[in-house]
């Protein structure tokens, strides 16, 4: 069959790595209906939300439990078939592309919330559970999981990419909120990174294996359970919008609000291009100037001082009076508009494609990098509205381009390279939350340096000596 021939064309794999020899074994593990070879399902599992081209796997399997994941991994290991974990496909760096063919493990049928410990503020979930599904499950408990990347991503997928989002300034990213992981390694071995069933709030017991796998993007193992920190639902939540005369004044306000010690829950920046796009797409009417969306969580009495401090700082930098969103419906409309920024940017140029950049710098360098990036966009005639989680020093240019115009595609490519290197020159990172995937492997080498990359490669070699786990991601191809 064509899938098997495609796999055999891969010179990195030995001739005995024939899919035909593995299919019956795969079917014996999870059933005929859970091993699919159809072109449509393979195409669906060979792409994410990134601009990277679709690279379909040769087969897609749908395990139902960790035992099946382990048994399937053993089959792949025996036949030297690449393994590509798949959650919801909402990634932005090509992390699910089957660049060497192989077997996609679609984990959506593992969707149980397994252990909720309300008094301990934690929960364990399978990889098919998404963040919205978990918060719906928690609705009557007084608890919630706040890490919010916008998309309704799977929680194990969020751990695999070290996702964050709008609430990270107060509640942290996935790195700070994963307590334990169950991981299936390339040879089918099942490990628990903090010990089976353990969920202490902190530990100093040995190496931090949990965070080794957070952000590993499926290159070290398949995440089959994650234990997460939960938080009490705040007594009061209020949101506000504040417009500014310039990018500099908006970002200066952000830095000063954080320096003042206000425990703000969200502080999001939109430049005037992004505000205009959101106004059009979401039927809003905010002034078309650089703008901050803010949100405060706390008690009735505690919020008053926080809000006054933030408002005073904003006004001292030329900001407008706060426009309040107090009731749930108005707040939801506000944050839906922020989360729909991707679609709003696309609507600026119908028929075009979008690419979301992602860099992060120390807070003190944030005003400089945003101002320089705006100048770069204007000088190179590029459409790239800016939105960002500026409370973390993290922002995105949502590049809208015509993929049929090679000259524009090249200008966007060069711009994104300059942006990433601008962040590195300011002691930042080439990716704050999207991950490395396919597109930022060379930049990762520049960021970490030779010695750290050697350690990274050694860890990969030790855990996955045959390079079966999501090959081609994070690390440059061996010998490449």
How many CB atoms within 10 Å of residue 20? 13
pLDDT value, residue 8: 36
pLDDT value, residue 429: 98
Check if CATH label 3.30.930.10 holds for domain 236-425.
no
Cα gap 380→397, rounded to integer Å? 14
pLDDT value, residue 1: 39
pLDDT value, residue 478: 63
Which DSSP string corresponds to 118-142?
A: GGGTEEEE-TT-BHHHHHHHTTTTT
Q: What is the pLDDT of residues 16-75, one digit of tens each?
A: 446 888 999 999 999 999 999 999 999 999 999 888 899 999 999 999 999 999 999 999
Helix 406-425 crosses helix 366-379 at what angle (to 10 degrees)?
160
> In the block, which residue shows the tokens 């000596």?
465
Which DSSP string corresponds to 250-292?
A: HHHHHHHHHHTT---SEEEEE-HHHHHHHHHHHT----SS-EE
pLDDT value, residue 463: 98
CATH class of the domain at 113-232 = alpha beta
Listed by start position, the domains of the chain span 16-108, 113-232, 236-425
Mean pLDDT, each 10-residue run in order, the chain (480 residues): 40 54 95 97 95 94 98 97 97 95 98 97 98 97 95 96 94 97 98 97 96 98 98 95 94 92 94 96 95 94 90 97 91 91 94 93 92 96 95 95 95 97 98 95 97 97 97 80
Domains 16-108 and 113-232 share a fold: no
Q: Which residues pair with 92 in a beta bridge?
A: none
Answer CATH for 16-108 from 3.40.50.1100, 3.30.43.10, 3.40.50.2300, 3.30.450.40: 3.30.43.10
For 270-303, letters b (16+ CB in 10 Å) and e give bbbbbbbbbbebbeeebebbbbbbbbbbbeeeeb
- Give 272's contacts (C-beta < 8 A, 6+ positions apart): 288, 289, 290, 291
Cα gap 154→294, rounded to integer Å? 26
């Amino acid at each position: 069959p064509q899938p098997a021939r495609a796999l055999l064309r891969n010179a990195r794999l030995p001739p005995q790595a024939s899919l035909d020899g593995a299919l019956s074994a795969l079917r014996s593990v999870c059933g005929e209906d859970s091993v699919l070879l159809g072109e449509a399902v393979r195409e669906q599992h060979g792409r994410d939300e990134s601009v990277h081209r679709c690279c379909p796997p040769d087969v897609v399997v749908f395990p139902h439990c960790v035992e099946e994941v382990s048994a399937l991994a053993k089959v792949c290991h025996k036949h030297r078939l690449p393994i590509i974990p798949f959650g919801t496909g909402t990634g932005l760096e090509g992390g699910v592309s089957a660049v060497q063919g192989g077997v996609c493990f679609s984990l959506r049928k593992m969707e149980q919330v397994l252990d909720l410990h309300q008094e301990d503020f934690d929960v364990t979930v399978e990889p098919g559970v998404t963040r919205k599904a978990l918060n719906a499950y928690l609705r009557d408990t007084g608890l919630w999981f706040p890490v919010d990347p916008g998309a309704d991503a799977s929680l194990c997928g969020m751990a695999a990419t070290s996702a964050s989002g709008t609430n990270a300034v107060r509640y942290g990213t996935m790195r700070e909120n994963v307590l334990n992981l169950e991981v299936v390694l390339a040879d089918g071995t099942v490990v628990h990174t903090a010990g089976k069933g353990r969920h202490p709030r902190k530990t100093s017991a040995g190496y931090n294996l949990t965070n080794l796998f957070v952000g590993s993007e499926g290159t070290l193992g398949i995440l089959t359970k994650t234990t997460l920190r939960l938080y009490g639902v705040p007594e009061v939540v209020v949101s506000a919008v504040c417009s500014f005369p310039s990018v500099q004044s908006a970002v200066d306000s952000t830095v000063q609000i954080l320096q003042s010690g206000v425990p703000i829950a969200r502080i999001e920046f939109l430049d005037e291009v992004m505000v205009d796009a959101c106004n059009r797409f979401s039927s809003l009417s905010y002034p078309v100037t650089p703008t901050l969306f803010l949100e405060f969580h706390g008690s009735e009495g505690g919020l008053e001082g926080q809000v006054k401090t933030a408002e005073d700082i904003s006004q001292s930098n030329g900001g407008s009076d706060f426009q309040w969103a107090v009731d749930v419906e108005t707040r939801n409309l506000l944050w839906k508009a922020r989360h729909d920024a991707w679609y709003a940017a696309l609507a600026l140029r119908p028929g075009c494609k979008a690419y979301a950049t992602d860099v992060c710098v120390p807070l003190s360098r944030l005003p400089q990098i945003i101002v320089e990036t705006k100048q770069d966009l204007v000088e190179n005639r590029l459409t790239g509205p800016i939105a960002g989680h500026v409370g973390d020093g993290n922002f995105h240019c949502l590049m809208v381009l015509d993929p049929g115009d090679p000259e524009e595609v090249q200008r966007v490519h060069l711009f994104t390279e300059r942006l990433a290197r601008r962040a590195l020159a300011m002691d930042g990172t080439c990716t704050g939350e999207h991950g490395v995937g396919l597109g930022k492997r060379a930049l990762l080498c520049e960021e970490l340096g030779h010695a750290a990359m050697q350690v990274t490669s050694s860890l990969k070699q030790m855990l996955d000596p045959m390079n079966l786990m999501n090959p081609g991601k994070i690390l440059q191809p061996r010998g490449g």
